[in-house]
Amino acid sequence: MTEENLLEEEWKKKLTPEQYKILREKGTDAPFEGKYTYTKDKGTYKCAACDNPLFSSDNKFDSDCGWPSFDDAMKSDNIKIQQDNSHGVVRDEVLCAKCDSHLGHIFNDGPKETTGKRYCINSTSLNLEKTST
C-alpha cells in the first residue's frame, strides 16, 4: 500500500508520535526549537511521511519566525494549499500533495526580491536529504 492510501491506524504505526501529531493531526513545532530552523546544510527537504521532495535548500531563508522558511516549493505539483480556519484565523495551509500530510502555512511576507512568499514549515514534517559539496 502506498503512503497516499494509508489508513490513520497505519500512519500511527509508521510515524513517531511527534510526527503523527504534526503531520496527521495538524500540530505545530515549538518555535525556534525545530531541527531545521537554523540549518544551512545543502540538499532537498522531503516529506517525513512519504519522502516526496518539497523544498530545496536554495530556497530556504532566515525569516526569524521560529520555523524553517522557504520562498518557493521545488515543484508546485508536490504541495497543495488549502484554506485553514482553525484557531479563529484564516490562513493558507501547506500540505504534501502525495500523502495529504500537514506541513505548515504560507504567508505573503517573504523576500520581495524573489516570490514574496514565506512557506513556514514544521521541521518535524521534513527530512533533509543532504547533497555533498
Q: Which of 47, 96, 99, 120 is catalytic?
A: 120
Q: In this model, does residue 92 exceed pLDDT 50? A: yes
Q: Is 120 a catalytic residue?
A: yes
Global pTM value:
0.92
Count of structural domains, the chain? 1
Residue range 76-104: average pLDDT?
94
Would you state the pLDDT for residue 55? 98
Rg (CA), the chain: 14
Partner residues linked to 82 by β-bridges = 93
Q: Which residues contact 109 (CB under 8 A, 6 or more apart)?
A: 116, 118
Range of the domain at 14: 3-130
Q: Which CATH number characterizes residue 122's domain?
A: 2.170.150.20
Q: How confident is the model at residue 133 (pLDDT cuts 50, 70, 90)?
A: low
Q: In what order do the strands lie in the sheet with 91-96?
A: 60-61, 69-70, 118-121, 102-107, 91-96, 79-84
Would you state the pLDDT for residue 3? 61
47-74: pLDDT as tens digits:
999 999 999 999 999 999 999 999 999 9
